[in-house]
Amino acid sequence: MTKDILLNKNDALIIIDVQNDFCPNGALAVENGASIVKPINKMMRLFDIIVLSQDWHPTTHKSFASNHKNKNIFDTTTLSYGEQILWPDHCIAGSKGAEFHPLLDTTKANAIIRKGYDPNIDSYSTFYENDRRSPTGLAGYLDKLNVKRIFLSGLVFEYCVGFSAIDGINLGYEVFLIEDTIGYFKNDAYGPMDEQLIKLGVKNINEINIKKQ
């Protein structure tokens, strides 16, 4: 049985990439992408520190299959930092697809972190680009606010949420995944990511288990 978690004012809610292109009818849609918006909005009232992340790609981004000759969507290629999955064009800076889901209450956010705008480097984690060296600025922001625990929600578990959790642990935060506010592809990456997060000690909870002191 999951124990209730009592929040303090230095706990941070990080809402990852709840954007039109990751929701139904988007360019890289997650089946339950829109269904997590309502519980996320409900949960925001419990937190004093709320950060939104936003994929923000140029049209020339090298993670797009359209920018590689004789490559198809979901093929892989090798970039300067290693293997890279090739995605459909998505979350292009300034486009409708890059906008947050229209029902997501963005007014409560203290900060928005944009990632993936370097055309040569993809960015899954909200902490580092995929070269694992280029910071997004999120850790510095959280450290200035003396954050010790981070609570992750959003899209999608196997990539941006999962890699954010890994980096969060490696940076010394206590990391919680709020399962009923996370979207899942449930593809081949699900099992390995789930196993890695368990080994690292990432905690799984539900929205109902989070209480404000």
Radius of gyration from C-alpha coordinates of the chain = 16
Position 115 in a domain: yes
213: how many CB neighbours lie within 10 A of its CB?
7
What CATH number should be reported for the domain holding residue 107?
3.40.50.850
Residue 118 falls in the annotated catalytic set: no
Which pLDDT value is given to residue 2? 66
| pLDDT at 1 exceeding the cut of 60 | no
Considering 17, 55, 89, 122, which one is annotated as catalytic? 17
Identify how many contiguous H helices and E strands the chain contains and give both numbers: 4, 10
Token readout for 29 is 């849609």
Across all residues in the chain, what is the average pLDDT? 96
Residue 9 falls in the annotated catalytic set: no
Question: Could you report the per-residue pLDDT of 128-186, keeping only the tens digit for each?
Answer: 999 999 999 999 999 999 999 999 999 999 999 999 999 999 999 999 999 999 999 99
How many structural domains are present in the chain? Answer: 1
Between the CA of residue 166 and those of 24, 30, 40, 130, 173, what are the distances in Å? 27, 21, 21, 13, 10
Position 193 in a domain: yes
Position 75 in a domain: no
**pTM of the complete model:** 0.96
Residue 115 falls in the annotated catalytic set: yes
Q: Which amino acid is located at 118 in the chain?
A: D
Considering 21, 115, 122, 167, which one is annotated as catalytic? 115
Considering 62, 91, 160, 167, which one is annotated as catalytic? 160
Q: Which domain holds residue 183?
A: 5-56+93-208
